[in-house]
Amino acid sequence: MVLANRILCGLLLFAVAGIPVALALPPSYVVPMVEKGAKTFYIQGEITGLGAVDFLVDTGSSYNTIDENSLAVLQEQGRVSFVKDLMGTLANGQRTRVAVYRIDAIRLGDDCELRDIEAAVFPGHTRHILGLSGLRKVGNFTFSFDPPQLTFSSCITAAVSTPR
């Protein structure tokens, strides 16, 4: 306790004297976003076994989403597992049954890997969405408009392997 008080007093002395004090901050990972029509933002990423995708960033979506075509590819490779069915409410207010699968890994930006991500599966060819089930894995995050980017407090920095 005495040592902590001395360190704090020393930092205050430097701050009052106008000497910059560098504090150790946790690492952060910046992923650029691209603004597209209708004020929507996308980040580049990759789904292990599927390849490169653009994720629509949607903080109002409870889950990441993929479409049935993506699910079929991932199932062929054994890279997803069924979690549950749930009743979901779509953006237009319609209620529908949605299957949720756990995806082995996704990458956001160049090197932010997230593992065991739950994703809701929608019929047809739909956008891939980065929702709260993925964003929860990055710890704290900041959504910035200028420049458009997401900043994460936690990532696994390892390449996601995809078939070539």
Q: What is the CATH number of the domain that holds 61?
A: 2.40.70.10
Q: What is the pTM of this model?
A: 0.75
Q: If pLDDT is split at 50, 70 and 90, which confidence band does 131 have? A: very high
CA dihedral 44, 47, 50, 54 (to 10 degrees): -20
pLDDT (0 to 100) of residue 158 = 52
Q: Which of 2-11, 28-37, 59-68, 148-157 has the highest mean pLDDT?
A: 59-68
Give me the phi and psi of 68, to 5 degrees please.
Answer: -60, -35
Look at the chain and report how many structural domains it folds into. Answer: 1
Full residue range of the structural domain in which residue 119 is found: 26-152
Distance CA(22)–CA(112), nearest Å, equals 26
Whether 18 is in a domain gets the answer: no
Chain mean pLDDT for the chain: 81
CB 137 within 8 A of CB 114: yes
pLDDT (0 to 100) of residue 110 = 87
Whether 160 is in a domain gets the answer: no
Whether 57 is in a domain gets the answer: yes
Distance CA(99)–CA(85), nearest Å, equals 4
Whether 101 is in a domain gets the answer: yes
pLDDT (0 to 100) of residue 29 = 87
Whether 128 is in a domain gets the answer: yes
Whether 16 is in a domain gets the answer: no
Mean pLDDT confidence for 26-39: 83
Whether 108 is in a domain gets the answer: yes
If DSSP states are collapsed to H, E and C, what string results for the chain? CHHHHHHHHHHHHHHHCCCCCCCCCCCCEEEECEEECCCEEEEEEEECCCEEEEEEECCCCCCEEEEHHHHHHHHHCCCEEEEEEEEEECCCCCEEEEEEEEEEEEEECCCEEEEEEEEEEECCCCCEEECHHHHHHHCCEEEEECCEEEEECCCECCCCCCCC
Whether 3 is in a domain gets the answer: no
For residue range 45-84, list pLDDT tens digits in order: 999 999 999 999 999 999 999 999 999 999 999 999 999 9
